Amino acid sequence: MPLKTDRWRSSNSRLIGIYAIFFVVWGAVLTGVLYVEISGYLGTVAERTLMQRAHYYQKIDDAKLFDELQGSEVYSIAGIDAYGLFEANGQYVTGDLLKLRSNLPDDGRVHYLKHGLRMAGSQGETRSSHALLQHRSDGRILILARDGGSISAVGGIIGQALFWGLSLTLIPGLIGWQLLRRRPLQRVERLQRSTESIVSGNLRERLPLSPRRDELDMLAHAVNTMLEHIEQLMHEVKSVCDGIAHDLRTPLTRLRARLYQLQQLPMEEAHALSLSLAMEESEAIMLRFQGLLRISELEDSRRRLAFSPFQPAALLQQAHDFYEPMAQEKHQLLTLELEPDLPALQGDQALMFEALVNLLDNAIKFTPPGGHIRLCAKVAEGVHHIEVIDNGPGIPEAERESVLRRLYRGNATRQQPGHGLGLSLVAAIIRMHAFNLKVLTADSGGTHVTIKCSRV
Amino acid sequence: MNYALVIEDDEVTAQSITTELQAHGFDVQWASTGRDGLAKAILGGLDVITLDRMLPDFDGLTIVSTLRNLGIHTPVLMISALSDVDERVKGLRCGGDDYLTKPFSMVEMVARLEVLLRRPGSHSQVHQLSVGNLSIDLIENTLVRCGESIALLPTEFKLLTYLMRNAGQQVTRTMLFEEVWGYHFDPGTNIIDVHIGRLRKKIEGPGAPLIHTIRGSGYMLATQN
């Protein structure tokens, strides 16, 4: 069966998938670094501004501090810069900051508070901010703060940029993938169909090429060149064989004619006997020769053009009726088992009959008297099966492959008449039909030959 | 006396065909080229022609189709080194009457020629065939022996019909297989003999046999040997 790939498994999907993951990770890393750098920079700026203010207020006398702080409101940005002055016991004196925070370390340096300070006029919410605690010489505590909202805003902006960037890239990417994945897949399916046709014997077929000359075309071109070579080689082998066959036919005809002429002359009994043996030998040569020629003929794919639909039931019935008298003579039982309503098969009926005749002939030949030979046709798992099952001695496992080779004769069969071409002829016929031939062991220990035909 | 023309380029084959035909009482002419053969065939006065499919100057198919186009319907047995089924079909479609593949046996060739000679213009006009005490009705598909009807299987009936049509004539196993079963290959074993044996049991009563076995070649239906 051809290997079918589902949409997720195509190499395109995989590449696009890997690329998408790479892109997302890279986008995240890039924005992450940006975020860290920018927020770090903004933090430093806030820190420096706070430090400047702290240094400035440090130098201001405690008595003037109050006025100075009030005055700073003129130039500092409301809601961004803030201060708070508290008594040493933490009691609020003045400023936007209403409450002294205990978690602000008392070390005169700028600290970043995630949940920052509550300001006057706000509805209880706290904001992240940079803050600094300064002890005045009169024991009061001054808190200076700068809103950290801009850092959070930077985070938000970068997050949004990441989101839009990814979605604007990934969504068209997915649509593009959906559109792109079809064409290569369709091409691969076309290639697959051509290959199947070639495998089933149509060596004239070539893989389709596109005008794009891409990597698939390079591969298809290489395969086509290879096919050209194979076809040429096979053609050469066939023409050599045909030549030999043709050159041998005439001398064989002559040999036979001469022996026959000789036989018509009066002669002694001993001579007549040798002559008749010579005639028999020449018969045997001819039979074998014709068998071999027939097999090479079958390997010629043109014959497939003559395929037409036929009813397997009628064919099996005919084969059964043809061999039933023979089985009866050998005191064997030849039964026909047909499933009702078998669908038609596509092929060469005459050749299929020849294949069945050979199988039945073997079965009858090798099954002892009293044996049972079954000729069956059924549909199993959607496939036509034609079977010849006997309860004879069977074929040893080691010989099962070789029985299909030309001129092979099993150890046990050398005494039987025949030219050893029957099963290879069957194999050639089955191969030509692109059917499947299997030699198995029957439950009874005999031979079980199965022909798996085309799908129903 | 029957007149036969052998168109065959191989001298040895032509000679043995000629000798064999002469032994069977034919008057034989030989043509070694297609041109010569065609000329002789057109001249007429022939009962049967054997024609090699591949000649040095002409294709056998051309000769037979030329003859048919000229309205000459002398039976032609095509002999060919090309055994492919397609070739057989081509040969018969061009007007050949029978097709024999090289290498062939002389017995087979003569038997086929004799059948061709005996072949009447049209089979269908004959409704009844009788040999000895056997009589078959080709319309009713019945067999009667001495007034007593005998049941036959369809294949057996076909077999007997063919033998009776060619009564007194030798027919080979291959011819029987082709005619009765309609396939063109060598069934190989003695399966035809088994069928003949079965038929014999059904149709032959006590007394002289009707179907005679001719050793090494085939059968003949005849009232006497």
**CATH code assigned at B191:** 1.10.10.10
From chain B, the residues in CB contact with A253 under 8 A are 10, 13, 102-104
Q: For residues B18 and B65, state if they share a domain.
A: yes
Q: What is the pLDDT of residue A300?
A: 66
- Smallest Cβ–Cβ distance between A323 and the set B12, B106, B191 belongs to B191
Q: For residues B147 and B212, state if they share a domain.
A: yes
Distance from CA of A297 to the nearest CA of B (A): 7
3-state secondary structure A190-202: HHHHHHHHHHCCC
| B217 within some domain | yes
Task: Please say whether the beta carbons of B112 and B77 come within 8 A.
Answer: yes
> Is A260 in contact with B105 (Cβ distance < 8 A)?
yes
Contacts with A86 (C-beta within 8 Å, 6 or more apart), sequence order: A92, A93, A100, A140, A141, A142, A143
Cα nearest neighbour of B177 on chain A: A322
Q: For residues B153 and B81, state if they share a domain.
A: no
Q: For residues B95 and B178, state if they share a domain.
A: no
- Amino acid sitting at position A304: R
Decide if B158 touches A, using CB distance below 8 A.
no
- Amino acid sitting at position B64: V
Number of A to B CB contacts under 8 A, please give it. Answer: 95
Q: How many CB atoms lie within 10 A of CB A423?
A: 24
> Is A306 in contact with B86 (Cβ distance < 8 A)?
yes
Q: What is the pLDDT of residue A279?
A: 84
Q: Give per-residue pLDDT as tens, B103-134.
A: 788 888 999 998 898 876 545 567 888 888 88
Decide if B184 touches A, using CB distance below 8 A.
yes
Q: For residues B79 and B132, state if they share a domain.
A: no
How many structural domains compose chain B? Answer: 2
Tell me the C-alpha distance between A9 and A11, whole Å: 6
> Is A350 in contact with B85 (Cβ distance < 8 A)?
yes
Which of B122, B118, B76, B115 is closest to B95 using CA atoms?
Answer: B76
- Going from the C-alpha of B106 to that of each of A192, B191, B221, the distances in angstroms are 52, 22, 20
Which of these three, B118, B150, B181, is where a domain ends?
Answer: B118
- Smallest Cβ–Cβ distance between B191 and the set A258, A290, A326 belongs to A326
| B151 within some domain | yes
Which of A404, A377, A395 is closest to A441 using CA atoms?
Answer: A395
Judged by CB atoms within 8 Å, which residues 13-72 of B form the interface with A?
13, 15-17, 19-20, 23
Predicted confidence pLDDT, tens digits, chain A (456 residues): 445 555 566 777 788 888 888 888 988 898 889 888 988 888 888 888 888 888 888 888 888 888 888 887 777 776 778 888 888 888 888 887 777 777 777 787 888 877 766 666 555 556 678 888 888 888 888 888 888 777 778 888 888 888 888 888 888 888 888 787 777 788 888 888 888 888 766 778 888 888 888 888 888 999 999 999 988 998 888 778 777 776 787 788 788 878 888 888 888 888 988 988 888 888 788 777 777 777 777 766 566 666 888 999 999 999 999 999 999 999 999 999 999 888 899 888 888 999 999 999 989 988 999 999 999 999 988 889 999 999 988 888 777 777 766 555 555 555 555 556 778 888 888 888 888 888 888 888 889 999 998 776
From chain A, the residues in CB contact with B16 under 8 A are 254, 257-258, 260-261
Terminal alpha carbon distance of chain B: 22
Q: What is the pLDDT of residue A2?
A: 46
> Is B153 in contact with A321 (Cβ distance < 8 A)?
yes
The DSSP secondary-structure symbol of B36 reads H
Q: What is the pLDDT of residue A229?
A: 92
Interface confidence: ipTM more than 0.90: no
Structure-block tokens of residue B64: 């037979």
**CATH code assigned at B76:** 3.40.50.2300
Cα-based torsion angle of the residue sequence A215, A221, A224, A226 in order, rounded to the nearest 10 degrees: -90
Q: For residues B134 and B159, state if they share a domain.
A: yes
> Is B86 in contact with A303 (Cβ distance < 8 A)?
yes
Structure-block tokens of residue A139: 């024991």
- Smallest Cβ–Cβ distance between A354 and the set B10, B101, B185 belongs to B185
| B109 within some domain | yes
- Residue range B136-162: average pLDDT? 88
Q: For residues B195 and B144, state if they share a domain.
A: yes
> Is A249 in contact with B16 (Cβ distance < 8 A)?
no
Distance from CA of A296 to the nearest CA of B (A): 10
| Beta pairing, strands A333-338 & A372-380 | parallel
- Going from the C-alpha of B174 to that of each of B113, B120, B158, B193, B218, the distances in angstroms are 14, 21, 15, 11, 9
Q: Would the pLDDT of B3 be above 80?
A: yes
Distance from CA of B191 to the nearest CA of A (A): 6
Q: Give per-residue pLDDT as tens, A58-103.
A: 888 888 888 888 887 777 776 778 888 888 888 888 887 777 777 7
Q: Give per-residue pLDDT as tens, A293-351.
A: 777 777 665 666 668 889 999 999 999 999 999 999 999 999 999 998 888 998 888 88
H helix intervals, B143-208: 154-165, 173-176, 191-203
Decide if B103 touches A, using CB distance below 8 A.
yes
Q: Give per-residue pLDDT as tens, B10-24.
A: 888 898 899 889 988
Which of these three, B61, B86, B118, is where a domain ends?
Answer: B118
> Is A258 in contact with B83 (Cβ distance < 8 A)?
no
Which of A424, A322, A430, A350 is closest to A386 using CA atoms?
Answer: A430
List, in sequence order, every beta strand (DSSP E) within A40-169. Answer: 81-86, 92-95, 111-113, 129-135, 141-147
Tell me the C-alpha distance between A377 and A337, whole Å: 6
Tell me the C-alpha distance between B60 and B79, whole Å: 9
Q: What is the pLDDT of residue A129?
A: 81
Collect all residues from A whose CB is shorter than 8 A from any CB in B: 245-246, 249-250, 252-258, 260-261, 264, 286-287, 289-290, 293-294, 297, 300, 302-303, 306, 318, 321-323, 325-326, 329, 350, 353-354, 357-358, 361, 365, 417-418, 422
| Disruptive mutation site among A283, A322, A429 for chain B (greatest number of B CBs within 10 Å) | A322
List strands edge to edge, sheet with B148-150: B128-131, B134-137, B142-145, B148-150
**Which domains are assigned to chain A?**
1-199 (3.30.450.20), 215-301 (1.10.287), 307-455 (3.30.565.10)
Q: For residues B70 and B9, state if they share a domain.
A: yes
Cis peptide before B103 (omega within 30 of 0): yes
> Is B102 in contact with A422 (Cβ distance < 8 A)?
no
Q: What is the pLDDT of residue A126?
A: 63
Which of these three, B66, B98, B118, is where a domain ends?
Answer: B118
Decide if B201 touches A, using CB distance below 8 A.
no
> Is A260 in contact with B106 (Cβ distance < 8 A)?
yes
Query: Phi and psi at residue A349, in whole multiples of 5°?
Result: -60, -40
pTM of the model: 0.65
- Amino acid sitting at position A395: I
Q: For residues B105 and B142, state if they share a domain.
A: no
Cα nearest neighbour of A251 on chain B: B103
From chain B, the residues in CB contact with A323 under 8 A are 191
From chain B, the residues in CB contact with A256 under 8 A are 103-106
Range of the domain at B196: 128-221
Q: For residues B107 and B209, state if they share a domain.
A: no
Query: Phi and psi at residue A336, in whole multiples of 5°?
Result: -110, 125
| Disruptive mutation site among B9, B11, B16, B172 for chain A (greatest number of A CBs within 10 Å) | B16
| B111 within some domain | yes
Q: What is the CA radius of gyration of chain A?
A: 48
Q: For residues B209 and B134, state if they share a domain.
A: yes
Q: For residues B90 and B135, state if they share a domain.
A: no
From chain B, the residues in CB contact with A354 under 8 A are 183, 185
List strands edge to edge, sheet with B98-101: B26-31, B2-7, B48-52, B76-80, B98-101
Structure-block tokens of residue A370: 């009293």
| B123 within some domain | no
